[in-house]
Chain A
Amino acid sequence: MQLIEQRPENRRRLHLAMATLGLLGLAAERPAAADDGTKNWTFDSGLLYYKEGGGRVQAIEPVVNAAIDLGNDRTLTAGFVIDSLSGATPNGAAPAAAPQTFAQPSGKGKTYTIAPGATPLDHTFEDTRFAVDLGYLFPLSSNGHLGVGLSGSKEYDFTSVGANTHYTLDLNQKNTTLSAGAAFEYDSSDPVGGIPLPLTMMVNAVKAGGSSKSKNVKDILLGVTQVLGPRGLLQFNYSLSLSNGYETDPYKILSVVDSNAVPQYYVYEKRPDTRVKNALFAEYKRFVFDRDVVDFSYRYFTDSWGVRAHTADLSYRWNFAQRKSLEPSVRFYTQTAADFYHAALFTGQDATVDNASADPRLGAFNAWTGGLRYGQVLANGHELSVRVEYYKQFGKVAGVPQQAATALSQFNLAPDLSAINVSFGYRFNW
């Protein structure tokens, strides 16, 4: 027996079907003669508003992802992102007792001055990024699915294009799923004012290193997902990323200080031209109290730059009403500084180090995130959600040159960072 919906050609059958509907007197099933009106499109849209404390970075980011079900288990996906950033970001220099003046990266002679003791921030950041990705997912062999995709993004000083593929294999009646993926990306940096020669003195932001640099990134992802009974599942992933090329941030500098922590001059940073990243990830999800979902994940990360990081994430989705949910979440993150991270360099060190960066992203810190998400399914089946999160990084001082350590200790070399973000989501089928 096939038991799929059919449209009987036979008039008697049709009359029977219609008469039966009349009998039921309900807004019941679709009549046998109706079209199968399944909705093939799914739209998932969102808007992020992000704001750091202390006049730092602010961002607005609308996102739309669309998925089309082409039937026979094939899906086409497309995503668009617009990311609009503004605000101040640290330029890498250390605080000093006297006001500091820096040239803006454009090299056109404009400058900005930082108050004594304050962390130097460059306010000239304003950037809008556009990104697109396309994907196609289809079945390959009886239990496998293959996905292929292309991605691209553009902001005024950076372009990226990439391709990716992902294969999943269902085993054991879909209780175990193996997955393997690979991605390749080519990034090109075309910074304002040109590329600086690394570890050279910053003089009025004149840069002699050329106008653009590139790097490529190769990624591999291996994973296994295992169902643990009708209410739980567990996932393990390993990801490896190999990056080659221009890894340095063309806008970031370091202070070169004397033993009194007085900056003598500033140099552009330099990072190694390869980076190998490894991450081991595990996630556990369980349906509890016949109603709610608890989700816990942990990631261990190491890379060839000496960074080691642990991430733990816990969320509890409380489905307090049939179509409404409240989900508190908490995340803890800790990282060690990169080998070549320096809060500042001591005079002469800039000639001896292989690599140096004062980018806080490569420093040492702990970070906590607390979040609360509210979700609701509306009467028309559309899903609305809003999430608020508070993120705080607690900086840990590292990479201080011994000769200037006492003098530098009067400054806050590893300031905290706090940020709030609010995101809205709207999802519907069509």
Chain B
Amino acid sequence: MKLGLIPILFLTAALSACSSVAVKPWQRGILARADMQLDAHPIQSQFDDHIYFSKEAASGGRGFGGGGCGCN
């Protein structure tokens, strides 16, 4: 009975050291949800940035601080 070499073509990334905050590649289900993205509503963020840039002195933080509009 031969026991040939078993071609393992992929090594999972699971072989790295664990830490309590690290999330394994197969655990990313919840983090991949659309509503868990840092910018979950890009269009609405764009509207907000524009409104607040025109009405307030502060800008930036979430993204670039410049602006890009001549809003009066």
Chain A interface residues toward B at CB < 8 A:
1-2, 44-46, 48, 50, 61, 63, 65, 81, 83, 89, 125, 127, 129, 131, 151, 153, 155, 157-158, 160, 162, 164, 172-175, 181, 183, 185, 187, 189, 217-219, 221, 225-231, 233, 235, 237, 239-241, 243, 249, 251, 277, 279-281, 283, 285, 287, 293, 295, 297, 299, 301, 303, 305, 307, 309, 311, 317, 319, 325, 333, 335, 338, 361-362, 367, 373, 385, 387, 391, 393, 417, 419, 421, 423, 425, 427
Which listed residue, B9, B21, B61, B70, touches A229 by the CB 8 Å rule? Answer: B21
Interface size on B, residues (CB 8 A): 46
Closest to B65 in A: A241
Which residues does chain A contribute within 8 Å of B67, judged by CB atoms? 185, 217
Which residues does chain B contribute within 8 Å of A427, judged by CB atoms? 43
Instruction: Indicate if the CB atoms of A173 and B51 lie closer than 8 Å.
Output: no
Instruction: Indicate if the CB atoms of B51 and A50 lie closer than 8 Å.
Output: yes
Which listed residue, A185, A237, A391, touches B62 by the CB 8 Å rule? Answer: A237
Instruction: Indicate if the CB atoms of A131 and B44 lie closer than 8 Å.
Output: no
Instruction: Indicate if the CB atoms of B56 and A309 lie closer than 8 Å.
Output: yes
Instruction: Indicate if the CB atoms of A173 and B44 lie closer than 8 Å.
Output: no
Which residues does chain A contribute within 8 Å of B36, judged by CB atoms? 233, 285, 287, 293
Instruction: Indicate if the CB atoms of B41 and A417 lie closer than 8 Å.
Output: no
Instruction: Indicate if the CB atoms of B65 and A285 lie closer than 8 Å.
Output: no
The distance from the CB of B70 to the nearest CB of chain A, in whole angstroms, is 3
Which residues does chain A contribute within 8 Å of B57, judged by CB atoms? 301, 303, 305, 307, 309, 335, 338, 361-362
A225 to B62 alpha-carbon distance, docked (Å):
12
- In the assembled complex, 16 residue pairs joining A and B whose CB atoms fall closer than 8 Å, in A order, are A48-B47, A83-B69, A162-B66, A174-B28, A175-B21, A217-B67, A221-B63, A237-B61, A285-B38, A309-B58, A325-B35, A335-B56, A361-B56, A393-B55, A425-B43, A425-B44
Chain B interface residues toward A at CB < 8 A:
9, 13, 16, 20-25, 27-31, 33, 35-36, 38, 40-44, 46-47, 50-52, 54-70, 72
Which residues does chain A contribute within 8 Å of B22, judged by CB atoms? 172-173, 175, 227
A155 to B65 alpha-carbon distance, docked (Å):
21
Which listed residue, B43, B52, B58, B68, touches A45 by the CB 8 Å rule? Answer: B43
Instruction: Indicate if the CB atoms of A173 and B16 lie closer than 8 Å.
Output: yes
The distance from the CB of B12 to the nearest CB of chain A, in whole angstroms, is 10
Which residues does chain B contribute within 8 Å of A338, judged by CB atoms? 57
The distance from the CB of A312 to the nearest CB of chain B, in whole angstroms, is 12
